[in-house]
Amino acid sequence: MKKIFLSVLLYIIIFTGFSYSQLKIGYVDSKTILSKLPDAQDAQQKLDAIIKDWQSELRKMEDQMKAKQDDYDKRKLIMTEQTRSDLEDQIKKLDQQITEYRDKKFGTNGELFKEQEDLMKPVQNKVFTAIQDVAKDENLDFVFDRSNAMVLLFAKDKYDITPLVMDKLKLQ
């Protein structure tokens, strides 16, 4: 997908750029901006606190299962078949609960993803709006983000609009 995008972009630059007018391109480093934006730092701290709580709960569940497993391992030779079977079922149930909890909180569609989206969406919108404003002010045709997966092999510093965006957001 990125190769197609880059191919189309190069096509646009090469063939339409020469026939009409010079394209103006800029780039921004959104990681630098987000690292200095207080709203982003606050959102990350909230997210870190949530993660810490969930990890603590997960550790408790794992410790509980380990204690049951250790107890089972120590006493399995003297247990009745029924007691052994019951404890094995309890251990399996705890293991399943741990797996479900981990998936629910940290899975691909888990609560962490949703929390991160809820906390970071307003911050990202604020940065995106500032980038758009700077792009309009500077009359840029394209703005790339060099901190994302798209590879920017070379760019002159004069096309870096990160400082302008940071000024727009009133950051140092």
pLDDT of residue 116: 92
pLDDT band at 43 (very low <50, low <70, confident <90, very high): very high
Question: What is 2-168's CATH number?
Answer: 3.30.910.20
Q: Position 48: which residue type?
A: D
Q: Kindly state the average pLDDT of the residues 60-68.
A: 95
Q: Which of 27, 5, 58 is nearest to 163 (CA)?
A: 27
Q: How far is CA 167 from CA 41, 111, 155, in A?
A: 18, 34, 21
The mean per-residue pLDDT over the stretch 74-82 comes to 91
Of the candidates 67, 103, 68, 105, the one whose C-alpha atom is nearest the C-alpha of residue 84 is: 68
pTM for this structure?
Answer: 0.69
Summarize the confidence of residues 30-55 as an average pLDDT.
93
Nearest-angstrom CA–CA distance, 35 and 31: 6
Tokens of 16: 């339409």
113-149 burial, b at 16+ Cβ within 10 Å, e below that, comes to: eebbeebbeebeebbeebbeebbeeeebeebbbbbee
At 56 the pLDDT is: 97
The domains of the chain are located at 2-168
Tens-digit pLDDT profile for residues 122-168: 999 999 899 889 988 988 888 888 887 665 656 677 778 888 888 88
pLDDT for 118 beyond 70: yes
Pick the residue with more confidence: 120 or 11? 120
Q: Which residues contact 152 (CB under 8 A, 6 or more apart)?
A: 27, 144, 146
Lowest mean pLDDT among 13-17, 27-31, 34-38, 168-172: 13-17
CB atoms within 10 A of CB 171: 16
Flag the least confident range among 26-40, 98-112, 137-151. Answer: 137-151
